[in-house]
Amino acid sequence: MATQSSANAEFYRNLGRMYGAYTGTFIGFVILLAILEQVGVPNRILGYLFVFFTLAVYALIGVMTRTAQVSEYYVAGRRVPALYNGMATGADWMSAASFVGMAGTLFLLGYDGLAWVLGWTGGYVLVSILVGPYLRKFGAYTVPDFMAFRFGGNFTRFLAVIVLVCCSFTYVTAQVFGTGIIASRFLGMDFTIAVYVGLAGILLCSMMGGMRAVTWTQIAQYIVLIIAYLTPIVILSTQKYGLPLPQFTYGQAIADITAREQQMIQSGLATAANLKPHIEPFLSYTPLNFFGIIFCMMCGTASLPHILMRYFTTPSVREARQSVAWSLFFIFLLYFSAPAYAAFSKLEVYTNIIGRDVSTLRPWLFTWGELGLIQICGKNAVNLDAAVAACKAIAGHPGVVRLQDFVINTDVIVLSTPEIAGLPYVISGLVAAGGLAAALSTADGLLLAIANALSHDIYYKMLDPNAPAFRRLLIARILLLVVAVGAAYTASHKPGDILAMVGWAFSLAMAGNFPALVMGIWWKRATTAGAICGIIAGFGLCLFYLVTTRYFPGVGVKYFGMTSLVHPVTGAPLVDIAKAMALPNAMESWPTLAHPLANKVGWFNLNNINCGLLGMPLGFLVIWAVSLITPEPSKEMQAYIDEIRKPRGDTILQEKA
Amino acid sequence: MQSSNDEAHWSRTRSLMFTHLAIWFFFGYIVHMFVKPLNQIIIPILNFPLGFYMAAQGSLIAFVVMLFVFARQQDRIDREHGVAEDD
């Protein structure tokens, strides 16, 4: 015992030293590239160096931590210290959507965008209090493992696997899509090739070592992504307000934005109708949808299998709880900076682009315009002449860029802020490397969650319970490869709904998993029949609402009493139902549904991202009602639940050696 | 079987859970329902409108602090009832 704990202490000390050295090397590398840029090395080369250096490091860690042991492969041997597991969870959690998309959403929506920030942080409170530590004590390898044990049998396991695959696969596709965007922009590759390059990076990290390799690469990726996220805004904050603490100085930036908004309206650069004041609430979401998003993202966090399984890797229940706290701390570092990011880039855009003469627009803008991500005067800004011509074509255009003339894709905000602010290219490369780290680390976690569920739950537990360890790991790796290629193939076709589906994944996870997990731990009386009915009812209702409102609005209106959603400010219906129903394709998607995030019809004026708000309460209700009319769980099962509630003692499930 | 010690442990765990859920609900929802009046208050020096600040930073800080406090409180309960793991 003594030698083991001293070996552990040695291991932890080395961890600190190793990652410290790694961080130093990375910073040194960035400085080296900055010098290279000053010497005149072209931007394209800098981009390649950034991407390949970081990918090589992740791959190296992945290869070094390869393993042939089952418990190492599935739960990293359950010896990841709380702080490091927190860091790994941070990277696992923060996806391309957080890194690239969040600040852009805040830029566009102002206050209403904060619903995502709140929802994606507060969920960890639920993880720690209601679910995570108890699952750790249970000793599962996967979330379906727990479901199957608690709610006896493989049918529940199978349902849990369906829920897991539904919410994880769309999510992973979005990550692969994100790596493709970044690689094609910074390496100048064809998008499809870029997707497969990103895929190779993902597989190098996770193939050989499963959870163990993913854990140690995710920590390395967290370090890259947090440095990359903070550097540009620290520089901007120092330049503007003389203080390198953007999270505190952006209060002034917000005051400046508000002043500039007034000025723009007075000078005719914007109209009161097309300007959304940055701090004004409920302009984009109604209060119901605003609080609905917060609630769904929170409960979704506590139900997403790839997050929950990170807490299976800590050495103890106590450390699992501490680890949740550390996770949120590391996530918080990025999330409380995102509004600062949005504010600084908004101020830059409002002062440097809006009001500028069209013929003097700076060249960086057109590299994004070529990708169709920035529009000037309604046309993709492919070059200066195109932008000038587009504005000339508008009758009575004053020749300066007005607010309504400038449309920027929200995903561009973070990636282009260094260029908007005129920082050296090395900062842009750094940000791209950070975005890549965010997308790769999340994709790794998700792929592993899917492949583990298929190999451990479907193959080992349901099909061949006598499979030797060697074959189980082989199957796990093959499935990982298959799922990864499937995700890359889907992403390479650029499905339009991908980004919307990330939001849906949370609602689906919440409706399918949350009631059964919480009731399974906190209510001994919950029975197998109750859980099965609850999962089917909750998940089914959520899925039904999503699919109907998104793809078959006509059916929803005609048979299910759905009505048009209303505009959050004016209260006017978003779509003229009578007119839409008269169209020849009334039963399918309406032409007005082009925007992927929005559904135009529904119940209670509810956005379909919030479908968990319908599914989850139903799930709880059904589990409760059905459990009460079926016989209570066996004494043995109730004793097991008592055991789960006490940290001391062995885990319930034990891996046969 | 369930001893009285275990029952006491679980009832304290449960009330700790409800306390934290109440704080969570306050910072996650209640405070943001008053964003408009809170925005009238400007935090001195930092210049943030208070309603915006709570959603962008205030609640987040509360969540982080809560989790560290919760981990300690639950651990103390576990130790006092002798069900904590060995160090």
Q: Is residue B28 part of a domain?
A: yes
| Minimum CA–CA partner of B75 in chain A | A318
How close B63 comes to chain A (CA, Å)?
6
Q: State how far the Cα of A147 lies from the Cα of A156, in Å rounded to an integer.
A: 6
Q: How many domains does chain B have?
A: 1
Range of the domain at B8: 4-80
Q: Is residue B86 part of a domain?
A: no
Q: Which of A1, A102, A118, A249 is the best substitution to test chain B (most B C-beta atoms within 10 A)?
A: A118
Q: Which of A112, A290, A646 is the best substitution to test chain B (most B C-beta atoms within 10 A)?
A: A646
Looking at beta carbons, which residues of chain B come within 8 Å of A248?
A: 46
- The model's pLDDT over A12-46, given as tens digits with 9 standing for 90+, comes to 778 888 899 999 999 999 999 999 999 988 888 88
Angle in degrees, CA A222, A226, A229, rounded to 5: 140
Looking at beta carbons, which residues of chain A come within 8 Å of B64?
A: 121, 325, 328-329, 332
Mean pLDDT along residues A113-122: 92
Q: What is the pLDDT of residue A656?
A: 47
Q: What is the pLDDT of residue A242?
A: 87
Question: Residue B31: which H helix or E strand, with range?
Answer: helix B31-33
CB-CB contact of A454 with A464 (8 Å): no
Q: Is the pLDDT of residue B40 over 60?
A: yes
Q: Is B57 on the interface with A (CB under 8 A)?
A: yes
- The model's pLDDT over A126-158, given as tens digits with 9 standing for 90+, comes to 999 999 999 999 888 889 989 998 998 889 999
Q: Is the pLDDT of residue A539 over 90?
A: yes
pLDDT above 90 covers a percentage of chain A that reads: 30
Residue A379, helix vs strand vs coil: strand
B51 and A298 in contact by Cβ < 8 A? no
Mean pLDDT along residues A605-631: 90
Question: Residue A376: which H helix or E strand, with range?
Answer: strand A374-376
For residue A625, report the phi and psi dihedrals to the nearest 5 degrees: -65, -50
Q: Which residue has the tokens 């969920």?
A: A123
A460 pairs with which residues across the strands?
none
Looking at beta carbons, which residues of chain B come within 8 Å of A321?
A: 70-71, 74-75
Across the interface, of B9, B28, B47, the residue whose CB is closest to A298 is B28
Give the pLDDT band (50/70/90) at residue A547.
confident
How close B52 comes to chain A (CA, Å)?
6
Q: What is the pLDDT of residue A586?
A: 65
Q: Is B55 on the interface with A (CB under 8 A)?
A: yes
**Nearest by Cα to A471 from A66, A34, A73:** A73
For residue A561, report the phi and psi dihedrals to the nearest 5 degrees: 65, 30
Task: List the single range of A131-135, A216-220, A573-577 with lowest mean pLDDT.
Answer: A573-577
Give the pLDDT band (50/70/90) at residue A358.
confident
The residues, any chain, with a CB within 8 Å of residue B56's CB and separated by 6 or more, are A114, A117, A336, A339, B48
Which is higher by pLDDT, A90 or A491? Answer: A90
Q: What is the ipTM of this complex?
A: 0.95
Q: State how far the Cα of A77 lies from the Cα of A429, in Å rounded to an integer.
A: 36
Which is higher by pLDDT, A527 or A62? Answer: A527
Q: Which of A233, A243, A318 is the best substitution to test chain B (most B C-beta atoms within 10 A)?
A: A318
B17 and A316 in contact by Cβ < 8 A? no
Q: Is residue B85 part of a domain?
A: no
Q: Quote the pTM value.
A: 0.91
Helix axes A498-522, A528-551, angle to 10 degrees: 160
Q: Which two tokens stand for residue A517?
A: 């997990």
Q: Is residue B32 part of a domain?
A: yes
Q: What is the pLDDT of residue A495?
A: 66
